[in-house]
Structure 1
Amino acid sequence: MSDFGVPEPENLSDLSGEPPVAETSVRLALPAEANAIGEIQVAAWRASYADLLPADVLADLNPAQFAAQWRAALVAPGEARNRVMIALAGRTPVGFAAITASDDPDADSQYDALIAELAVQPDATRAGHGSRLLNAVVDTVRADGFRRVTVWINSTDDVSRAFYTEAGWAPDSAHRELDLYGDGSIRIKQVRLHTDPANED
């Protein structure tokens, strides 16, 4: 502490003129962050699908392929309400969420949004990043004029179900089954949850 009651910098880096960095934050993702998003998605999928997909399938997931798709989506998002949000710990990406108008058969794409993906780096879970992402998603879809937002989760994923329901989301009775290879060898059952962004704080 200086004589004037002002805390002194702990090290010279505090004098660098760099703006302070928030411990945690959420903002729109940048194309330059596509590689990080690909890495996060693969790590999250390997954790969440460990009991559903063969180990060799999970091992073959390629972050670079995911990154290329995300980079293209970030450079040319198409519909104006397509968004990719990124969660940061300091300057390090630790999670992301992708929002789009829902293309479900029973949806109204003008008013129904879909969380196409929400993932957090497995070693960064339980630090509030998922909740901050979800809050940012709800704020964004509300500002974009959506009246409902939905998400599909695996029917056996109790962790994701608890995450959403604790945030006020609820099942809407819709369900589907994904046939991953088109030959019936691996099927994944999913249920849909929803919320009204106008009712979220």
Structure 2
Amino acid sequence: MADAGVHTATAADLAEIVRIHRETWRLAYADLLPSEVLDTLDTDDAWSSAIQLGAVLKATEGEWTVGFVVASKAPDDEVAKADGSLPRDAATTALLSVLVEPRWGRRGHGTRLVAEAVRRLGETGATRGIAWVPEADKASRNFYERLGWTGDGTVRTLDAAGRPLREIRVSGPLSVRLGD
């Protein structure tokens, strides 16, 4: 494998981050989301804001950007229990979303992204992480399980242009051990 690394994404990475998001979701979620939802993934505004805040890290292999993670403090509505109450650690819970292009998968990029994200989050006082994963996305669920994250019993159903998308929330410690 060529040199692999994790770096803070910059404005110069915006187009590639958007492309990876769009193309990976179109491939991975074609059976879960209607095409009209997948076709709206081309917007740059949300990504631009996240990059400006320093919340996006990119994975590289050689000269190629191969994936990214968005990691920041979890908003209260994302960390709330099913009854709407906040857990004791709500103020120190982080929200992560990791995505690696399938053609670059199974090479350690996702784990490296999460390891660097949780290292940085730990420096800010974060103690636990959460992520939302489509229930039918077994690959992503398996990835988080290998990190020691499990479903915490909270589910949500999103309206994806009239098609329900059920997501589970996974949760786990902010510690990731990289393999040798």
How does the TM-score come out when normalised to structure 1?
0.75
2:71 pairs with 1:90: no
The one-letter amino acid paired with 1:89 is E
The one-letter amino acid paired with 2:29 is Y
Instruction: Deviation per CA, 1:119-176: give whole Å up to 9, x if none.
Output: 1122211222111112112212212210111001011111111111012111111111
Q: 1:43 aligns with which of 23, 28, 31?
A: 23
CA contact (8 A) 2:114 2:176 kept: no
SS at match of 1:40: helix
The one-letter amino acid paired with 1:112 is T
- Note the residue ranges of structure 2 that are not aligned, 5 or more in a row: 81-85
2:130 pairs with 1:153: no
Q: Counterparts in 2 of 1:1-20, with a 5 A limit?
A: none
Q: 2:166 aligns with which of 181, 185, 189?
A: 189
The one-letter amino acid paired with 1:114 is L
Q: 1:52 aligns with which of 25, 29, 32?
A: 32
- The offset of 1:56, in angstroms, is 5.1
2:73 pairs with 1:101: yes
Instruction: Deviation per CA, 1:32-59: give whole Å up to 9, x if none.
Output: 101110001001111221111234543x
Higher RCO (Cα < 8 Å, 6 or more apart) = 2
2:89 pairs with 1:112: no
- Note the residue ranges of structure 1 that are not aligned, 5 or more in a row: 1-21
- Report sequence identity in percent: 31
1:56 and 1:148 map into 2 onto residues whose CA distance is 34
Q: What is the RMSD of the two structures over their aligned residues, measured on CA atoms?
A: 1.9
- The offset of 1:111, in angstroms, is 0.5
SS at match of 1:168: coil
Query: Which residue of structure 2 lines up, in the alignment, with residue 172 of structure 1?
Result: 152
The one-letter amino acid paired with 1:73 is A
1:136 and 1:190 map into 2 onto residues whose CA distance is 25
